[in-house]
Amino acid sequence: MSFKEDIEPILTRLPAVASPEGHVHLKKKLTWTAGILVLYFALSNVPLFGMSSESVDMFAMYRAFFAGQGGSLMLLGIGPIVTGSIILQLLVGADVIHLDLSDPHDQAIFQGAQKLLVFVMIIFEALPQVMGGYIKPSAEIANMLGVDISTIVLLLFIQICIGGALVLFMDEVVSKWGIGSGVGLFIVAGVSQSIITGMFNWKMDAGLPIGLIPRWVYLAGVGLPTGMTNILVTTGILALISTVAIFLIVVFVESTRIEIPLAHSAVRGARGRFPVKLIYASVLPMILVRALQANVQMIGIILSNKGITVLGGFSGTTPLGGVMYYLAPLHSPHDWIPMLVSNHYASVGHAAPAVWQIGLRVFCDAAMLIIGGMIFALFWIETTGMNAKHVAANIHQSGMQIPGFRRNPQSIERVMERYIPKVTIIGGAFIGLLTLVASLMGTVGGAGGTGLLLTVSIVYRLYEDLASEQMMEMHPMMRAFFGRE
């Protein structure tokens, strides 16, 4: 039996959110989306029962694009979904698993296998956190309940797994009944919360208010620090400039496109255009790149805590050297400006890396973002039905054609092949470069360059989805073109 025949009976038995039988009206989609968002925020504030206050959030630096909340039911965030997607895309891309993603049957198997892999990754990401001592059980609660500490560990593990499964099903609800995707919605929610907190939080940290506005008020009273670097970083001006610049650049790039003219084969005078955007695969492949880096770092942290430092040691979640230092993603100016790097490493009681080591780390991160952006962008359009073959089939089924070419899917596909793969590669490289710049400069609220980039792009796409949904409500015949019937 083949892999497909072996796995198909398992996939059909996996729990799933029921798909709508017909068209879901816009008001109902908005209701489902808002409801899931409220539920997500509520679950993010439900702490894990039995967890000690000494617990450590392994993914604290990656919360911007992993979403979720440390110490809560949403501890894993979208991590298992993203990691499962990475593994399966790599296996299919390397032809280890033979699936023809242009075949609807194989595509359904791919989506089912991805869900199965997500359940596996929930267990694999929860186990190291509980067994590795990052999520620590509370001895006080164990004594209060009269149970062994291992029972509390098991209880914590079960809660984390339930939270991971809830994220998966909430993502499914949004994808089938709402607008956009749950993954994108949760990222936007988390980053927006970080930015608002980063603007108005008056709590003190290292002698300064965390929020920009309270910090400016405080510094106006005590005086500005000396040195241009200190002024730009300490006051948060660099982060604010970066945040505004990234917002404007992404909005501009999202509107940059090549438009392929279309005409209706039966209705004379009916014309349209198919837009191929510069960021054709969106910025979601960047989640895959950063998630890959985050999982590599998690492995390094676990090995380091077990005394195995062949790949590099760690102080908490800070890489101290070795391969892991160069594979660690950049988050802010504190990761590459020598003076700030020295201050950070002094705070954890270790010597700072040499300037050449910092430069090599920046180069490695740039290579991973740009090359990884191109590779995952190509994988993304193949697995989500955005490649030339799928687009050509949708255009042909809608009754549209490209003027001057034969009225068949093959002719449309040949035209699309001239643009879609090339634009996808260029867009993947560009978004990788933009992510690097945003990560180097930092952002308001510590949302991270990747998180901010994702948020702006996702919000822009949500706006476009809303516009197309509204158009389809007014013109039901347009649903056939978008494949929504």
Ordered by start, the domain boundaries in the chain are 1-9+25-178, 256-442
> How many other C-beta atoms lie within 10 A of the C-beta of residue 194?
22
Q: What pLDDT, on a 0 to 100 scale, did the predictor assign at position 368?
A: 94
CA 262, CA 258: separation in Å to the nearest integer? Answer: 13
Question: What is the pTM assigned to this prediction?
Answer: 0.80
Q: What pLDDT, on a 0 to 100 scale, did the predictor assign at position 479?
A: 54
Residue 161's H or E segment, with its range, is helix 149-177
10-residue stretch averages of pLDDT, the chain, 485 residues long: 71 83 84 94 92 83 79 90 82 74 76 90 90 87 90 94 94 90 88 86 78 83 70 78 86 84 68 82 82 86 86 86 91 86 87 93 95 90 81 79 78 87 92 88 78 84 81 60 51
Q: What pLDDT, on a 0 to 100 scale, did the predictor assign at position 255?
A: 81
Residue partners of 342: CB distance under 8 A and separation at least 6: 352
CA 260, CA 442: separation in Å to the nearest integer? Answer: 37
Let me know if 468 is exposed, middle or buried by CB neighbors in 10 A (0-12, 13-18, 19+): middle
To which CATH superfamily is domain 1-9+25-178 assigned? SecY subunit domain (1.10.3370.10)
**C-alpha 33: how far from chain center:** 18
Q: What pLDDT, on a 0 to 100 scale, did the predictor assign at position 281?
A: 83
Q: What pLDDT, on a 0 to 100 scale, did the predictor assign at position 480?
A: 52
CA 120, CA 141: separation in Å to the nearest integer? Answer: 29
Phi, psi of 336, deg, nearest 5: -140, -20
HSE toward the beta carbon, residue 430, CA cutoff 13 A:
18
Q: Which one-letter DSSP state was computed for residue 93?
A: H
CA 165, CA 80: separation in Å to the nearest integer? Answer: 9
